[in-house]
């Protein structure tokens, strides 16, 4: 049996319209703007602005997963990590990098189970995201 890893990459995953439509925005509606507690009102106003930005398409939810293109006995296949969904699209690059690293570790476990060696995986790890 011949096998090789052709690439390992990071993908931001969207549905057909370009967003993760299953993202949960309920956390932006947990504070009462009419509360007598000034801290709660402050949080409610911040969340209201964030929610308005969401509805104005200023940000949306995305998913991130690590993907490997492999070839086994001449047949190309795509193997991916489980992915993490519900990530705010305007999150920092550092956060996206952190998530990709976690997803890549999950993908490495799958590749090891498929019989690839640490060396074969490492040779493809430095590919661009």
pLDDT tens-digit map of 75-109: 888 888 988 888 899 999 999 999 989 999 999 99
Say whether both 87 and 117 belong to one domain.
yes
What is d(CA 55, CA 15) in angstroms, rounded to the nearest whole number?
17
pLDDT of residue 19: 57
Rounded average pLDDT over 53-79 = 88
Q: How far apart are CA 13 and CA 85, in angstroms?
A: 8
pTM: 0.76
Are residues 69 and 15 located together in one domain of the fold?
A: yes
Q: Are residues 48 and 91 in the same domain?
A: no
Q: Are 112 and 3 in contact (CB under 8 A)?
A: no
Q: How many CB atoms lie within 10 A of CB 62?
A: 23
Same domain, 78 and 119: yes
> Structural domain of residue 100, as residue ranges?
3-20+62-125
**8 Å CB contact between 65 and 82:** yes
- Same structural domain, 70 and 105: yes
Asked if 83 and 119 sit in the same domain, the reply is: yes
């Amino acid at each position: 049996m011949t096998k090789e890893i052709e690439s390992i990459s990071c993908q931001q995953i969207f549905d057909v319209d370009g967003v993760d439509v299953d993202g949960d925005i309920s956390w932006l509606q947990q504070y009462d703007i009419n509360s007598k507690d000034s801290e709660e009102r402050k949080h409610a106003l911040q969340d209201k602005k964030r929610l308005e930005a969401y509805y104005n398409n200023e940000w949306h939810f995305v998913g991130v997963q690590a993907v490997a293109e492999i070839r086994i006995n001449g047949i190309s296949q795509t193997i991916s990590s489980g992915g993490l969904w519900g990530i705010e699209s305007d999150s920092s690059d550092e956060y996206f990098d952190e998530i990709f690293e976690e997803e890549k570790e999950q993908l490495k476990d799958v590749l090891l189970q498929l019989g690839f060696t640490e060396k074969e995986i490492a040779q493809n790890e430095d590919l661009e995201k």
